[in-house]
Structure 1
Amino acid sequence: MRVLSANPEVKQGPDRLLSERHLSIVRLVIPKGTDIKRHRSLMTVTVVGIKGAVEFHTDDDVTTIVPGKAVVMEPGEFHWLEAPDEDGEVMVVHGVLAQ
């Protein structure tokens, strides 16, 4: 077992908790009025809300992620995030899922 802890010093952007070949876990801090630019991952992406409200966009849809809500995306799907109304934090897991 490994225990991963967030870095409370990170006030904006990524806080990498784990980075391995087939698995990455990142706490992403998005201050009000900022965004994370459009990008994609070659792995499956799971984004879980942990604080505030974050708008999660794909080329076809938008959903607001709040604590207790999550989205899962397939590899290669473009997406971006923004926090238009309040500070937000999400936990992002990039991974290769077992078949």
Structure 2
Amino acid sequence: MTSYEIAIWVFMLAAFLGFELIRRVSPLLHTPLMSLTNAISAIAVVGAILITGEKEASTLSRTLGFIAVVASVTNVVSGYLITDRMLRMFKKRSPEKK
């Protein structure tokens, strides 16, 4: 097996396991799960910045690194916005004054 085929198998396995695990999580645990995935995405941002900033990186590596930084930052920001929205749903609303 080539490294490309192994990478495809790992991706397919991760996608399947991720789908099955998320599908079986109780709705009460979605907010902590979102926070965890935001932390993992933040690690991806750091990795993408490190790859993009290498001195001897090719133009392709820098371009892909930049795309990875933009995609990861977008994922982190939108994840925090969605988590905040989910947390606001659990807050008690103040009674309306007549």
Q: TM-score, normalised by structure 1?
A: 0.23
Q: Which has the higher strand share?
A: 1
As a proportion of its length, which structure holds more helix? 2
Structure having the higher Rg: 2
Structure with larger RCO (C-alpha < 8 A, sep 6+): 1
Structure 2 length as normaliser, TM-score? 0.23
